[in-house]
A and B are shown apart, each in its own frame.
Chain A
């Protein structure tokens, strides 16, 4: 058996583990650099929290999209429709249960919003399932048709929202105890933004755990890199994909509810408007990468908030500027996904 151990003894040096840390540093470094520019610490804290909150909400909407793309090479241009549908579905709970929304009780507020979120995720999840079957399945692998057809699906969905909920804006009230801000010294932290950060972190951590600790999660990551090999190992990637599609749609629905409450008014175009931002975020992060998507969302949102304060005119195009800068540095986004 000497020759056998020969295989083992080859290449005995431990390979260096290349964990790409640079993108991870971007967000903290950016925030610290902005501190002297903003000048006042309390303002900086407020801006940073606002940016993080917005980033978290965008992340919820974008994470599903990037995974869907990574896994099946499908880009859903109609992803924004799930955001709109989620937000509008929430009104089915929030409007009739107005008294719970207006009550000065944290528990009543939480449960009514929780219920709204649950319903919204259920509806968008189901819708995602139907969307995948009816709209996407016939056009796998055909990018051109995918773009056209999902765009068409988006138009139809937006119009159907008009049909069901009417064409008027719907005001959406923030629950009583979610309004206002905590005051720390001179810094005012809006409660709802903190809630958004909390929900966003929860989503991110759960996603991280699922993708790293469960077999399904590992299969998804493996499938993003090489779907054919996942099939050759005996797993049906279609099933995985449907699961990811449904989960991604439900997350978009969650993001829609959070975003709708943040904006406090709903129009059917809410999803379409946010789509551009979502696309920028997933391009910045690297198409298919959840971690990149998270950093991208924070980066874009923070820059938008700082720019809004320091140079409002620049804020109009700050998203594009971030995207261009990142792509000049890394043409495939922060975390390029290895593809077969």
Chain B
């Protein structure tokens, strides 16, 4: 049963299985384990990022495409529902229209960019997507009548998802079943489903072809696979799933804005997570997102303390300033590209292989 769910692509390492289980249980039970809006927010963000990063891994890790437009698709999803709910009022119909509209726009954009530039080399594609994504984000923040500009838009979600909604009067396990909880589980189960779907994709014949293309362009072409078509398909698939991740995030935050949805920082985060977690493993997205988001929210507290302790020494204090945590992640990122390009998951699997047991 589990085998089928995971598409026969098991974690293949005991510590990895254990970590995945911890993350899964932690996210599943988060509303009951932790209290406070912030912690639940962390959990929901992890769920969304697992999907977002895994969909990026589909491109980077499995197909060898470097795209810098992934946040654009994420943003399209978020803005799609956000603006629909803002304009049409809080109904499921608006959610549907927004999602459908966003998916279509993403699909068209992914197709156009793909057909336009995937024929040429990886580097070209990376540059073009970077340019397109940055233009998109400029346009989105300039069209303030429509998108709310830099401030973004807050909006109301359908009633059942609103924090003030109560499903029962009684509490369950010491927690009121309110709209926030329902939204959390909507996010969690959608994320889980999308994750399993991606696992299925990469282990399907289609996924194998993608990997063949990544390993050797010419050979794959010689075997008769039209690499451009496969790449474009992978590109569209990744874009669509990223769009859905954006939809989930918007529903959770009840807000869309360029800083959280479209900025280049989100793109850097995705890159850091996918590389540190482990490219081409899908599971890397889970481990990477969990560690990254937790670190982003809690490591900074530690760094603030370290920085305060060193406040006498100007340079060092700056070095450990909580805002500088990206510096350390950047260093970790560069080191991992060199020394363990398969990331945490790859490491654990190699260890397991060397020990000669699963």
A residues adjacent to B (C-beta < 8 A)? 69, 75, 77, 135, 138-139, 143-149, 151-153, 155-156, 159-160, 162-164, 166-167, 272, 275-276, 279-280, 283, 287, 313, 316-317, 319-320, 323-324, 327, 331
Interchain CB contact (< 8 A) of A145 among B120, B132, B321, B337 = B337
Q: How many A-B residue pairs have CB under 8 A?
A: 99
B74 to chain A, nearest CB (A): 18
B300 within 8 A of A: no
Instruction: Find out whether the CB atom of B131 lies under 8 angstroms from the CB atom of A159.
Output: no
Instruction: Find out whether the CB atom of A159 lies under 8 angstroms from the CB atom of B334.
Output: no
Interface centre among A138, A153, A159, A320 (most CB of B within 10 A): A159
Interchain CB contact (< 8 A) of B324 among A147, A159, A287 = A159
Docked Cα-Cα span, A48 to B319, in Å, equals 44
B residues adjacent to A (C-beta < 8 A)? 60, 64, 66, 116, 120-124, 126-128, 130-132, 134-135, 138-139, 142, 264, 268, 271, 275, 315, 318-319, 321, 323-324, 326-327, 329-331, 333-334, 337-338, 341
Instruction: Find out whether the CB atom of B324 lies under 8 angstroms from the CB atom of A163.
Output: yes
Interchain residue pairs A-B with the least CB separation, the first 9 = A159-B327, A155-B330, A152-B334, A156-B330, A152-B333, A279-B127, A163-B318, A276-B134, A320-B135
Instruction: Find out whether the CB atom of A147 lies under 8 angstroms from the CB atom of B334.
Output: no
Docked Cα-Cα span, A164 to B315, in Å, equals 7
Please give me the residue from chain A that is nearest to B142 by CB atom. A316
Interface centre among B123, B264, B329, B338 (most CB of A within 10 A): B123
A189 to chain B, nearest CB (A): 28
**A145-B337, A149-B337 given; A75·B123 CB < 8 A:** yes
B258 to chain A, nearest CB (A): 13
Interchain CB contact (< 8 A) of A319 among B60, B64, B127, B131 = B131
Instruction: Find out whether the CB atom of A152 lies under 8 angstroms from the CB atom of B330.
Output: yes
Docked Cα-Cα span, A183 to B64, in Å, equals 55
Docked Cα-Cα span, A152 to B60, in Å, equals 15
Residues in chain A near residue B331, CB distance under 8 A: 156
**A144-B66, A144-B122, A155-B326 given; A279·B130 CB < 8 A:** yes
Instruction: Find out whether the CB atom of B121 lies under 8 angstroms from the CB atom of A143.
Output: yes
**A152-B334, A163-B324 given; A147·B132 CB < 8 A:** no
Interchain CB contact (< 8 A) of B126 among A77, A155, A162, A287 = A77
Interchain CB contact (< 8 A) of B139 among A272, A283, A316, A324 = A316
B296 to chain A, nearest CB (A): 14
Instruction: Find out whether the CB atom of B338 lies under 8 angstroms from the CB atom of A283.
Output: no
Docked Cα-Cα span, A331 to B119, in Å, equals 11
Docked Cα-Cα span, A139 to B338, in Å, equals 9
A–B complex contacts, Cβ < 8 Å, 10 sampled: A75-B123, A75-B126, A147-B123, A159-B326, A162-B324, A280-B131, A317-B138, A320-B132, A324-B116, A331-B120
Docked Cα-Cα span, A324 to B132, in Å, equals 10
Residues in chain B near residue A279, CB distance under 8 A: 127, 130-131
Please give me the residue from chain B that is nearest to A282 by CB atom. B127
Instruction: Find out whether the CB atom of A163 lies under 8 angstroms from the CB atom of B334.
Output: no
Docked Cα-Cα span, A156 to B275, in Å, equals 16
Instruction: Find out whether the CB atom of A145 lies under 8 angstroms from the CB atom of B341.
Output: yes
